[in-house]
Structure 1
Amino acid sequence: MGMTHLEFLYGTRIFGCKTCNAHFSTTEDMMSRAFNGQYGRAYLFAKVVNVRQGEPNDRPMTTGLHTVRDIFCIKCNTQVGWKYDKAYDEAQKYKEGKFILEREMIKTVD
């Protein structure tokens, strides 16, 4: 297995892995701060980099049934959130293809 190539981001504020500082996203790609995750507050992002996606599975959530994939930091393999693949409720379709990053698992990085 070779070295992992990390993508470095530039922006007003960069969010990264709390464990290893790998960059994930920026405030420019943040869509909402009004989400909840497994560990409390979570943010919705349009674009996230430097993550590995797990297998899809159906998960009942407070807003209905969704098909999601857990996402993991590609540098340290910490689970940091999930990606929405499919929303079964028409009002939740805007989440498809978007990412949740758990506030507890990320921090602002330089």
Structure 2
Amino acid sequence: MGAFDQLKDLAKMQQAAKEAEKIMEELRATGVSRKGYVKVTLDGKKGLKNIEFSDDAMKITPDELAKCVKEAHKAAGKEIDKLVKQKMKNSGFADFFKE
């Protein structure tokens, strides 16, 4: 493989990386705690985009509320992992790492 071919491959990889970055920024998943007190929405990089508390959440102890936040975050994280894996598989970005 010549230098020109390597540059073409590099350009393709850079374009695929930009597309993957855009996908990650736009991706969203919401997780809900077991009792439904908390909803957490994450982006593809697992950055917190939104958090909601039900009216009943104000009636539980701070420790219980913290546990619910963790549960909802974990659920959203698992969903993001599935979505990212699926999106990357379908985008062709993973093809660069098969060789």
Fold match (TM-score > 0.5): no
TM-score range, shorter chain: under 0.3
Normalising by structure 1, report the TM-score: 0.24
Question: For the pair shown, which has the larger CA radius of gyration, 1 or 2?
Answer: 2
Normalising by structure 2, report the TM-score: 0.26
Greater strand proportion: 1
Greater helix proportion: 2
